[in-house]
Structure 1
Amino acid sequence: MSIIEKAASRIDNKKGEAQGAPAGAARQADSLPPAPPAPPAAVPDAATPTAAASAPAPAAAPLHAPRRTTNHVELDLERMHGIGLVTAAGGRTTLVEDFRIIKRPLLKRAFAARAPGEKPGNLIMVTSSLPGEGKTFCSINLAMSIAMELDHTVLLIDADVARPSVLRTLGLPAHRGLMDLLLDDKLDMSDVMLRTNVNTLSILPAGSNNPRATELLASQAMSTFVYEIANRYPDRIVIFDSPPLLLTSEAHVLASHMGQIALVVEAEGTTQHAVKESLRQLEGCSNVNLIYNKTREFPGTETYDYHYG
């Protein structure tokens, strides 16, 4: 081969190398030893796991870690103030001051040391003798007042499963809740609990109507549920809006789980006989208190008072 031909051959080989395909590579491929396999990261293949797929899976969350709910509702605070409910933006009204007085002894007892076997003081049931005496109104106002505290959160539970009225009073649509939770062991409380735009207040609706409501409230599932909500968060107050005592049997069953009970008595409405019968049904329950409501000190005004029974 002449010098010119050798030079031309070198130029062709350099051009091939610059393009990633050496000029003589195709002709010499059969005579070369097989190249070692490339590492998986350099030669991705459908059968070869990628770095992301082969990375170890994250550790599973603890079995008892609370799950955050995605259910969020907006309370119309202006509407609530307009219908006479306690709101933080409502100013220092007589109603706000009344419920500040009512909540203070309840809070004090809620976190006091308790004797062995005593029910948790942070479980508070609000009930009445008969419908129409203002128990739901008092339940919501008490919850809103406690939610204004700096050191506590509140869970308001509509336990009047036959005639639920908490969501309706707040202008909210019906939602799954307590009864669904007790019936379906696959449901978690976070699936049915409603967080609100009042950061320290959550709501658990009554849920689906069920003819076996009394048995469900007396079940082991209810006992487990009550223990969990009483002990999961140390700063939480749980308020149950209960059915009336003299109308259904659910209230008496519910009372057996409670650490404190507030019986709403309507001024000039609830008879003395009804109050005595309600207190008789609550015999054996510790810390029974009375909220004497709708008293009229001046024409057109209503106030609330609080007494220990």
Structure 2
Amino acid sequence: MDIIEQAAKRLEELRRAGVEVAPEPQPSVGETARKVGAGSTAPADAQGVAQSRRVELDMNVLTAHGILTPDSVRSQLGDEMRVIKRPLLHNVSGKGAAPVKDANLIMVTSALPGEGKTFMAANLAISIAMELDHTVLLVDADVARPSLPEVFGFDEERGLLDVLTDPTLDLSQVLLRTNIEKLSVLPAGTPHPRATELLASEAMNHLLADMAQRYHDRIIIFDSPPLLVTTEARALAMHMGQVVLVVKAESTTHAEVRNAIAAIESCPVKMAVLNKTTGHVDGHGYGYGYGYGYGYAAKSSASAART
């Protein structure tokens, strides 16, 4: 299927979903020739698809938000991120107890807002990017309340929603390469009044399938909306190979955790991470202080368990 057929198919999917899409004006043959002759300011690959842009992440901003950086000294946060990522990477490489379909698609979510899912997604992405054998794409899929621009310190950019609403826009055109080697970011994109419906649309389903196939050698981490206050996170979970559920210690109830797990029952691998603990959850005195980027800091610890 060529790019024109793909664009036509996506337009039809958006119309069926009830999303109004303005018709793209068609250039004349002369206009097309002038554009080709003049060239493009954006680099392009052999197929003529514009390459991703680059953003310089400020390591001081990351540190201020408690995010790992490649030059961070060894810390409890770094050690616990290693504990959390190891079983995920085993599943990606096929070394787990059983094969996991689309194991490279990993969703980080929570039952409710404010439990630290964006903090976990950002640190997990950077920690995996520091591995020798993996590259990472971090997707801001919390389109109603995107947090990655604040945490990473970059301006709002075109991204996921733009790809879903513009059939002529290729995913590679909105990816942000970063100065952290092997880490790229896909922003949430331009705000849209029907963002929730777009994330649960057939167009999103096709985009996820395309990402899994096109970037099969890359680990893709989705910072997802909370499970119990939105519906799109449940739709996303149906396409994920692995889900990391962030649970806020001494806050999230057992019933909320059970309901959240039930909402992602279709996902083959589910990992629960206890966040913001005030005690020694593992008996070895693990604990560290970090800032979330949401206006507060807390002495915390994270522990992981396969569910």
**Alignment TM-score, normalising by the size of structure 2:** 0.75
Percent of aligned positions that are identical: 50
Alpha carbons 2:104, 2:216 under 8 Å: kept:
no
C-alpha distance in structure 1 between counterparts of 2:230 and 2:197, whole Å: 12
C-alpha distance in structure 2 between counterparts of 1:299 and 1:221, whole Å: 41
1:96 corresponding residue in structure 2: 78
2:126 corresponding residue in structure 1: 144
State the secondary structure of the residue aligned to 1:198.
coil
Matched, 1:304 2:299: no
Instruction: State the Cα deviation string for residues 149-175 of structure 1 (Å, max 9, x = none).
Output: 111100000000110101111111111
State the secondary structure of the residue aligned to 1:180.
helix
Instruction: State the Cα deviation string for residues 67-119 of structure 1 (Å, max 9, x = none).
Output: 422x21111112212331111211101000100110000011123289xx964
C-alpha distance in structure 2 between counterparts of 1:89 and 1:159, whole Å: 28
C-alpha distance in structure 2 between counterparts of 1:112 and 1:67, whole Å: 33
Name structure 2 gaps, 5 residues minimum.
1-43, 281-286, 290-298
1:68 corresponding residue in structure 2: 51
The 1:98/1:176 distance shift into structure 2, 3 A limit, reads: same
Structure 2 residue identity aligned to 1:68? Q
C-alpha distance in structure 2 between counterparts of 1:109 and 1:122, whole Å: 8
What are the residue-to-residue correspondences of 1:10-159 with 2, within 5 Å? 63=47, 67-69=50-52, 71-112=53-94, 119-159=101-141
2:191 corresponding residue in structure 1: 209
**Alignment TM-score, normalising by the size of structure 1:** 0.74
C-alpha distance in structure 2 between counterparts of 1:156 and 1:61, whole Å: 22
Alpha carbons 2:244, 2:270 under 8 Å: kept:
yes
Matched, 1:191 2:179: no
What are the residue-to-residue correspondences of 1:210-229 with 2, within 5 Å? 210-229=192-211
Matched, 1:256 2:238: yes
C-alpha distance in structure 2 between counterparts of 1:61 and 1:154, whole Å: 20
C-alpha distance in structure 2 between counterparts of 1:175 and 1:285, whole Å: 30
- Bigger relative contact order, structure 1 or 2 (CA pairs below 8 A, ≥6 apart): 2
State the secondary structure of the residue aligned to 1:263.
strand
2:253 corresponding residue in structure 1: 271
Moved more, 140-149 or 166-175: 166-175
Moved more, 88-97 or 204-213: 204-213
Report the CA distance between 1:256 and its aligned residue: 1.1
Report the CA distance between 1:66 and its aligned residue: 6.2
State the secondary structure of the residue aligned to 2:276.
strand
C-alpha distance in structure 1 between counterparts of 2:178 and 2:45, whole Å: 26
Instruction: State the Cα deviation string for residues 226-266 of structure 1 (Å, max 9, x = none).
Output: 12222223431000000001111111111111110010001
C-alpha distance in structure 1 between counterparts of 2:100 and 2:91, whole Å: 12
1:283 corresponding residue in structure 2: 265
The 1:66/1:288 distance shift into structure 2, 3 A limit, reads: farther
The 1:162/1:195 distance shift into structure 2, 3 A limit, reads: same
Alpha carbons 1:127, 1:241 under 8 Å: kept:
yes
The 1:299/1:177 distance shift into structure 2, 3 A limit, reads: closer
The 1:221/1:304 distance shift into structure 2, 3 A limit, reads: same
Larger radius of gyration: 1
C-alpha distance in structure 2 between counterparts of 1:252 and 1:105, whole Å: 23
Report the CA distance between 1:62 and its aligned residue: 5.8
C-alpha distance in structure 2 between counterparts of 1:125 and 1:188, whole Å: 22
Alpha carbons 2:163, 2:169 under 8 Å: kept:
yes
2:14 corresponding residue in structure 1: none
State the secondary structure of the residue aligned to 1:88.
coil
Structure 1 residue identity aligned to 2:270? V
The 1:209/1:299 distance shift into structure 2, 3 A limit, reads: closer
Alpha carbons 1:151, 1:235 under 8 Å: kept:
no
State the secondary structure of the residue aligned to 1:295.
coil
Q: Which runs of 4+ in 1 moved over 4 A?
A: 60-63
The alignment yields a C-alpha RMSD, in angstroms, of 2.3
Structure 1 residue identity aligned to 2:302? Y
